[in-house]
Amino acid sequence: MTQEQDHAPIPAEGWTEPKPTALLVLADGTVLEGVGLGAVGEGVGEVCFNTAITGYEEILTDPSYSGQIITFTFPHIGNVGTNEEDIETVSMAGASGVRGVVLRTAVTEPSNYRATRHLDQWLKARGIAGISGLDTRALTALIRETGMPNAVIAHHPDGVFDVEALKAKAREWPGLEGMDLVPGVTSAQRFNWDETPWQWPEGYGQEGSGKLHVVAIDYGVKRNILRLLARAGCKVTVVPATTAAADILALQPDGVFLSNGPGDPAATGEYAVPVIRELIASDIPTFGICLGHQMIGLAVGGRTVKMHQGHHGANHPVKDLTTGKVEITSMNHGFAVDRESLPANARETHVSLFDGSNAGIALADRPVFSVQYHPEASPGPQDSHYLFDRFVDLMAKKKAAA
């Protein structure tokens, strides 16, 4: 090797390295520089990583990610663009509460027949700041080693940042423990739902003859959960998270669904758990997903714990202990039910094969069950849809016996 080859090229005279237009500033003072995209401004939250290689629009509109900055481990995010159909927030204009997005590579022009907007434009419209050009593998390794850090994501196109102020903001943010984020994502009033899942080439369908009435308590519910309930033949009524048990029972439902949602389940449980206890005591069939699962765990006397790195991705293997089958699931949670805290009548039905954490329970003396993962998200692609059939069967048997 010659001396010239042994050295990096010398920049041309007058050349200066371009300024970063976005920063990710961690609570420990670490500053990561990159190129900004999406909304201009700042967002503070907890940084997590998601290992899914598809479904970024659904992930970014999942209310369960409220208060979090999402790092995608897959490098090519945005390549199929965005559209107006694949969002998961119930309100088309509603925000999921995501505080920011971290990407490895710059977003390419969309290449998909369903695309209506570039991801950059879509992020701007939803007020989500982004940063690209980061070593997301290194950031993921850091999270695996030290846990999910609090951080500020800042996008300033002029490249001017008050770094010390950003460090202070990240350091002073209290974190998700003890934080009830459900009020920011729940629906404001009761409404009915009849839309069914998307089918090519027709698009979304409609269920007009639901024979079983389900009341869904909205802690940040995803659209596709409601679609699968409708497809299963249910008439669905969605109610806000603070709805009283008496008001729910007054609707004479055949079953109650407890939705997913963000934040610390113990904080939400301050007002949700008493309601759920009344519903369980009424012996009404009840099905919970994600935060709804954690709410049931708390309602029967268990406790929830903050996880080290959480589970966020579409490749999580879960074993159904009632059948012995393994399903590939989608997960998004930073808290988990502590199985050791559960009472004897709460039987563990599902377990994560990644770390052995609890992924489902059922009550031995009541028609109540729940899972920690998202059976509607279809990573398997339909490994977990049977859970909606289980819920329908519970309701049908209860109704037939009445």
Catalytic residues: 290, 374, 376
Contact residues for 359 (Cβ-Cβ < 8 A; gap 6+): 318, 329, 350, 351, 352, 371, 372, 373
Q: Does 18 sit behind a cis peptide bond, omega within 30 degrees of 0 on the bond before it?
A: no
**Among residues 297, 303, 226, 290, which one has the least CA distance to residue 261?**
290
Residues facing 289 on adjacent strands: 371
User: Pairing state of beta strands 22-26 and 234-240?
Assistant: unpaired
Which of 205, 185, 181 is CA-nearest to residue 193?
A: 205
Are 44 and 99 a contacting pair, CB within 8 Å? Answer: yes
Dihedral through CA 307, CA 301, CA 365, CA 392, nearest 10? Answer: -50
Are 248 and 270 contacting, i.e. CB atoms less than 8 angstroms apart? Answer: no
Identify the residue whose tokens are 């109610």. Answer: 239
- At residue 363, what is the residue type? L
Torsion of CA 251, 257, 258, 259, to 10 degrees: -110
Residue 42: which H helix or E strand, with range?
A: strand 41-50
